[in-house]
Amino acid sequence: MRETAKSTSLDLQYIDAETAPPLGGGIKRAFDIAGAAAGVLVLSPLFLLIALLVKASDGGSVLYGHRRVGRGGSVFHCLKFRTMVSDGDAVLAAHFRDNPDAKSEWEATRKLKDDPRVTRVGTVLRKLSLDELPQIINILLGDMSIVGPRPVVRDELEYYGKAAVFYLKSRPGLTGLWQVSGRNDVSYDSRVAFDRHYVENWSLVQDIRIILKTVPAVCLSRGSY
């Protein structure tokens, strides 16, 4: 059973999102299933290679499931190839104690350009967004969509304010408008605006355009770290 992440300040947004039909309805879901199934078949050799590299890097687990907020406020484990050391929380806390500027960067964007937790293999995987490939499984399970707002943790949803309702109406995406529009090189407010625009103007044609733009964005590693 999936959990639901709710807070008093966002109750109305959750209620609206829970009662609204999923963005794109059956057409978007059928597209997701077909695309994800094809992705598993085509990319299975790459999955195996990455899994071996991650395992060989330090002997730790291959996959990592991080709790993220999905449609309607449900909480799911967003899968990734592990890119961080096993004691990442302790490493990050020590880094913040020694680098106050890094803590400010984290509080503003929830990202670090120079993250001390990331392994050498993880750095390459993140640069090419290959660490996110296991989210194809999340798509098949119905937790995510091929295209949509990138999944966020509970604390990040507070940054959306009233725009949280738009995020909650859509399944989080493996790629999205923010992903192909600069990613970490744009402000968080811009990210929220991209997500709102995507939901308000959704079409299958727009999804296909974003997928096509994802390929060069990933190859050029725009805003990726």
Question: What are 121-168's pLDDT values in tens digits?
Answer: 998 998 888 999 999 999 999 999 999 999 999 888 888 988 999 999
CB 125 within 8 A of CB 220: no
pLDDT at 1: 45
Residue 18 has pLDDT above 90, yes or no: no
Judged against a pLDDT cut of 50, whether residue 193 lies above it is answered with yes
pLDDT at 51: 96
| Pairing mode of beta strands 3-4, 74-81 | antiparallel
Tell me, what's the pLDDT at 146? 97
pTM score of the predicted model:
0.82
Distances (CA, A) of 49 to 35, 44, 55, 149, 152: 21, 9, 10, 28, 28
Q: What contacts 224, CB < 8 A, 6 or more positions away?
A: 126, 127, 128, 129, 183, 184, 218
User: 187 versus 76: which is more confidently predicted?
Assistant: 76
Q: What is the pLDDT of residue 88?
A: 78
Average pLDDT over residues 188-217: 93
Two structure tokens written together for 77: 């484990």
pLDDT at residue 44 tops 90: yes
**Rounded mean pLDDT of the chain?**
87
The percent of residues in the chain predicted with pLDDT above 90, rounded, is 54
Place of tokens 């974003």: 210
Q: Supply the pLDDT for residue 8.
A: 45
Ranges 11-15, 146-150, 179-183, most confident = 146-150
